[in-house]
Chains A and B, each alone.
Chain A
Amino acid sequence: MKAPRISRRTALRGAGGILVGLPFFEEMAGASDSEVPVRAFNVFFALGIPMPLQTEGYDGVLEPLKPLREKLLIMRNVDQVRCDEAGINAHFDGASGAFTAEPPNGEARSGGPSIDQVVRHHYYPDGQPAGVVPTLAGGTYFRRSRLSRFVHSYGMSGTVAAAIQERPRDLFDRVFGTVSISDGSPDEGKQRLRRSVLDSVVEQYLYYTGANSPLGAQSRARLANHLDRIREFEQRAFTPRENASDQPQLPPRSRVAHGGYADPGGEGIDMVLDDLTTEWRLMADVYALAIELDRVRFGALTFLAAGERLRITGDYEYEGRKVFEFDDAGQRQASGSKGCSHEWWHDFDPERSNKELRAHAHMKMREIGYFLKRLDETTESNGKTILENSMITVSTESGDGRHSDVKRELSGVFHAITGANGRFKTGEILDVGAEGLDVYNTMLETMGAAYKLGPSDRERQRIDAIRA
């Protein structure tokens, strides 16, 4: 990797282009060393793994997850067919169903909350400790025609739980950045008055979110969220900073396209593999650092958007061996969207080798594994790593990318979960053969959350096989 890895250690060593010092992190951090907080994160990767390849276990495209196999439960045959929405292929609705098991409810809204948010609301109904970002959403993605393609944390109303950060620097800033209410003046009197201004603003939000508010339930919830952000703003603005001598380095600037330029009309963009993985690993590093420093306990991380269209080039290596040479457009002899790696999913044929698709899926597992390993590096007070202590759910949009059979496309959606501090089985590959709703509700119940996803009159089935 060309970019430096960002970790707690490098955060201490940093020397320039700096935002916040580690003492400041620790002052703002929510939990003491003796506590292991409840955490839940959703990790999304694009385009899925066709069901036949999932059956190969760790010998196939899942090879990069093999070093973590004792800490993962691989779940096959998770059925998300109920997420299908007529008129649209499964990239969008399957992505919306990942971590929610519900079909989309509009272009930027899921049919219900995601599992991380249900756990969050159960454990922290009145908010998390000061200094903890309520929900952190980040990702490396390019296709962006609909939010549900890349946002994977939804609040209880089904709307996005947090604005997604797509640059490592933005993610860093969201977690560790400071804000200032000063206009640059060192005048303490002005500072005090600005605080009074903010106090009056808080009072107004309290009124409009309170019992006497004229607003309806959804609107009050929206303003309550705004109020939470104001409190976060206050907390950052008024927490005294230590000196800047031991601050971490900002992540380097992104080298890949962002914003509208990253998605020119759905036609896809050219991408050098090393640029992609450098960007992603910076994102993964910052996210992992935020978890490590207890600055975030809930949220989602996205590695490529549902239906992502990239024309990737570059040598792909794993553990020192060359796995494949990516050249999507050249190998497909096509330009535009037809020259994108996405097309390998359209072409999948279980009777053929599918070597290009395998290489791409393998690469995605390598990158997901990178993030998970980062979380496995820190041991907490109970002797387990962050990875083991957290509820981390890895999933994707479909179990078959051919768009030729909704049932096949959405009935075998890959899932992997971590143990959540001994709550779930790990070290197995399980054919659960159940609806995503039942799997997620079992996870929520096991986490202690009473809220149930899905229709209230639906007969539920607990999947005991996944519980420890």
Chain B
Amino acid sequence: MRTLLFRFAVAPLGLCLVAASSLWLATAKNSSDRVSSGLLVLYDFASADGAVVADRSGVGRALDLEIADLEAVSRVEGSIEVTSATVIKSPGRANKIADAVRLSGEITVEAWIESSSANNGTRATVVALSPKSSQLNLDFDQFSDRYEVRARTTETGTDGLPATRVEHNTSSEGPTHLVYTRDRTGRTRFFIDGQIALEESVAGSTEGWERFPFGLANKMDGESPWLGSLHLVAVYRRDLLAREVQKNFLVGPDFRVDVTELDDSAADVDLFVTEVAPLFAEKCLECHNSSRRSGGLDLSKKEAAFAGTKGAVVVPGDAAASQLIEQIDKGAMPLGRPPLLASEKAMLRDWVNGGAIWTLDEIAQVAHVGPEQANDVWVQRLTVPEYIATVQSTFGVDISEDAANVLPSDQPADGFKNTAYNLNVDLGHVNAYAQLAQLIVSRLDVEAFAGRFSESQSLADEKLKALIDQMGSAILRGPLEAEEFSLYQGLAAAVVSSGGRFGDVVGYLIEAMLQSPRFLYRVEIQRGDGSAWPVGEYELASRLSYIVWGGPPDEELMAAARAGELHDPVQFDRHLQRMLKDPRAVARSSQFIEEWLDLERLENLQPNSEMFPNWDPRVAGDMRAETLEFFRDVVWEQERPLTDLFNAQFTYVTPRLAEHYGLETDGLDSDSEIPARYDLSSTPSRGGLLTHGSVLTIGGDAGSMVTRGLFVLEELLFSEVGNPPPGLDTTPPPTSPGRSNRAISMERVRSASCGGCHSRFEPLAFGLERFDGLGSYREVDAHGNALREDGSILFPGNAQPVAYAVAAEMMDLLANSERVQQSLTRKLTQFALGRSLVDQDEPFVEAIHQEARAGGFTYASLIKAILNSDLVQTMRTEA
């Protein structure tokens, strides 16, 4: 469908051209004045000779063009005149244009031309992204006395018809600046010499764009030669604004490209986030943090860093007056460490002189150290649960038991099993994928499955092609590439020629698709210009479904992707809300809590039999079930804020677990193996995740204060401590009469050599002292020492600890802590993305956090904030 919104009368040609010429001739010819954001290719015809027209965009792999017939052109520096029919085209396919436009749903084509005739009496193609007229992405033509663009969408034919046409009598022989733009909503505009000539709406999306060659001055088949001079041709992956079109027009065609000026991706990088904060975190914050404040300086927060207590530490715009620069210049800081590198000093000096822009609320040390902060992008292989869910959802076949048996298990990395860099494959995977593919087909009614996509069981080419198209798109979670079509058609032909029937053909096709990288991996377009590109509709559908469900998009989501609806925030949210009501969302959230707390560990719990002679291994399973059910109840039944996980006064126990915990078992079905909801309002000592056996057992048999405290510090408070100081025997002494765990711990906390760090984390476990190594509650230990539950928490970023009298108060402090919320935000974001967070993510994570808080900090609000974030909506492309 095509709706004409505006058709602008173009000024009388002569007047317009005079005005235009005088405008652009009068301005500076500097490439930096041109719009570069979103540029894909740029031809300025700088070279006066040779058969190659260089793509001088500096973006990704250059898409150079070759002149088919050098005799047909005349080259001068800055333009090329086509004097007789030829074609100037890319030797290969223009992947970077097709991929980018398919993802963005937007495009701008810009050309400075001088036609040999104002009315050529025929169709002549200026810019082509198509092999032939009947199959194109886009053709930009001069058609007699006007301009016309055929751009393919999901609603047009493959020939791009109906076309976008400006009025008659608009083409001319003089220098003319032509711009065609289209945005994601279908708004299409045509500009001539900076003025808008046409605006209309063209329905559909660019999802179907294929990887065709790119060419100038003709179609690829040589059927529509255009004659005249080309001064500049550029393609952008976005819809340029009217003022940007005008800006390019004013620069004019006669300039020289400085590629380095065009590469503005580096300018987008936030110096503070990527350079300054990591340097502070690595070299300064160990001493100059909120709690230690060595020398009275806290470099973790802007106000504290800028103020200092002994003068101006950082004076924005004046490095010479800043103590920070003075100290590092003379090597006084970092104290006792090697001095900063010259490049690091220079960077800090530049940062201060540049205004010392500080873009984070707080530099959290742990966010900037550890795993390399490189911008490496790994394709995500389906984890074992994701593979099972994908098969179940796509085919309705339950393969869980077989897959668990034959697929190598995924190994955790950086806390989760879906960390992409660690999702390797070995021979065992390949063998398992092949075996499982056969098994899935054997359990599938293949003809009925094929019937979902085509009523026909014909093996005729066209029918089969339609089936491959529809079925492949469903199994591979998006439309097939042309190469894939050919591949599957070839396979089908092989089966048919072997005497195979329709069912056999479909079966082997499914086997092949099940082993395709498109099925086993979440393939996305990752190559671009180094900047973040919006992900495509189908990619967004997959991101949405794998994050929320841990499985593939359903038919409704695929339909929305096909219709190009998912970049519409309203539609996106509608699908999200629908999906959050699905049991698959609950299952996915269980995977998160299971991996975060490493509940799998409970299967292998082997407590010391002398310390725990009555241990029943089934209790470990009950502990796991307790945590999963409790999480489900808080998150899904009650839809409470996630921080309520730390102080909700109920739990789920079997009678066996209740007895183990020392809870009353009245009211529990003594024979039940299923955990039942248990009200803890009259048991204030217990309540919240930290009082679950699943968490308490991380402290080992002795209920180590160190291990439990470190868990709270690292997992809930998003912080860390350094190594033990030199000369320390790290073996904790055993408890004895008069010397409880707490007493031993306090010795460390008060020790001059240990207290600096141990005071930060051991008190975090004091409220758990009454829980033994297996989570049972007692008020005296084996030696008769009285156990306590009071303590204090030093929240990272705060100068003073907060005291609590009983365990329940500690749980309330944690539940009310924004730091704990931030930690949960980070954990869920990492799990959703399938990778560790890096420096560049920090501003986005902070935005996610604030949006989730505004939404009540429920699981649903946090997931929604993550999905709305650029971390999900865009892809960091590789140049």
Contacts and interface: CB of A to CB of B under 8 A. Distances in A.
Nearest to B875: A216
Contacts, number: 227
Interface string A193-209: 11011101101110110
B727 A266 contact: no
B interface residue count range (under 10 / 10 to 19 / 20 to 34 / 35 or more): 35 or more
A203 to B, nearest CB: 5
A208 B523 contact: yes
Interface of B: 92-93, 95, 99, 211, 286, 369-372, 376-379, 381, 408, 411-415, 419, 421-431, 434, 437-438, 442, 481, 483-484, 487-488, 490-491, 494-495, 498-500, 504, 508, 511-512, 515-518, 520-521, 523-527, 600-601, 603-606, 608, 610-611, 697-698, 700-702, 720-731, 734, 836, 877-878
A193 B508 contact: yes
A181 interface: yes
Contacts of B515: 197-198, 201
A160 to B, nearest CB: 6
Q: 7 tightest A-B contacts by CB?
A: A108-B413, A219-B379, A216-B526, A216-B878, A163-B426, A264-B606, A106-B371
B701 A214 contact: no
Contact of A214 (B520, B523, B728): B523
Contacts of B734: 334, 338
Contacts of A226: 425, 429-430, 517, 520
B610 to A, nearest CB: 6
A89 interface: yes
Given A85-B370, A163-B426, A107 B413 contact: yes
A89 B516 CA distance: 42
A32 interface: no
Secondary structure dominating the interface of B: loop
A207 B525 contact: no
Given A87-B721, A216-B377, A260-B600, A200 B434 contact: no
Nearest to B439: A183
A147 B423 CA distance: 13
B526 A215 contact: yes
A260 B601 contact: yes
Nearest to A190: B498
Given A197-B512, A205-B517, A265-B697, A108 B414 contact: yes
A14 interface: no
Interface string A17-59: 0000000000000000000000000000000000000000000
Contacts of B422: 106, 108-109, 147, 159-160
A338 B729 CA distance: 13
B701 A336 contact: yes
A87 B720 CA distance: 7
Nearest to A159: B421
A267 B607 CA distance: 8
Contact of B499 (A183, A189, A213): A189
Interface string A219-263: 100110110011011000000000000000000000000011111
Contacts of B523: 208, 214-215
A259 B411 CA distance: 11
A128 interface: no
Nearest to A208: B517
Nearest to B416: A107
Interface stretch (A2-10, A289-297, A398-406): A398-406
A87 B523 CA distance: 36
A337 to B, nearest CB: 7
Contacts of B877: 216
Interface in A174-191: 174, 179, 181, 183, 189
A1 interface: no
Contacts of B376: 157, 216, 218
Contacts of B381: 222
A129 to B, nearest CB: 16
Nearest to A179: B431
B599 to A, nearest CB: 11
Contacts of B481: 207
A107 B437 CA distance: 32
Contacts of B437: 197
A114 B376 CA distance: 19
A212 B430 contact: no
B322 to A, nearest CB: 26
Contacts of A313: none
A335 B494 contact: no
Interface centre among B381, B605, B611, B723 (most CB of A within 10 A): B723
Given A159-B424, A193-B500, A204-B517, A338 B414 contact: no
B378 A204 contact: no
A346 interface: yes
